[in-house]
Amino acid sequence: MTERHAAIMDPIGEGAHARAVGRPKDACPYPAGSPERRAWFEGYDGAPADEGPDLPLDASR
C-alpha cells in the first residue's frame, strides 16, 4: 500500500480528498455520531472539530 493510498483510507484523508475533488460535504459515508464521521469532517474542513474558528484580530489594539 502506498503512503497516498493509506492517507486516503484514513477518515481524515478521505474527507480532505473528497473536498479536493469537489464532492459535497454531505457525501460523508460514516454514520452520524461516529468517531470516523467526526474525523472525516475534520479532514473535509481542514481543522480539528474541537477548535473554534479563528477570530478576526481587533485592529484597535
In 1-61, DSSP assigns E strands to: none
Write out pLDDT tens, residues 23-42. Answer: 999 999 999 999 999 999 99
Is 7 within a domain? yes
Q: How many domains does the chain have?
A: 1
- Examine the pLDDT at 60 and tell me if it is beyond 90: no
What's the residue count for the chain?
61
- Examine the pLDDT at 1 and tell me if it is beyond 80: no
pLDDT for residue 27 = 96
> Cα separation of 55 and 33, whole Å?
27
Is 19 within a domain? yes
Q: pLDDT class for 54, splitting at 50, 70, 90?
A: low
Q: Mean pLDDT over residues 1-18, rounded?
A: 76
Is 60 within a domain? no
Which residue segment(s) compose the domain that 12 sits in? 3-45
Residue 59 or residue 26, greater confidence: 26
Is 28 within a domain? yes
> In this structure, what DSSP letter does residue 40 have?
H
> Cα separation of 61 and 58, whole Å?
6
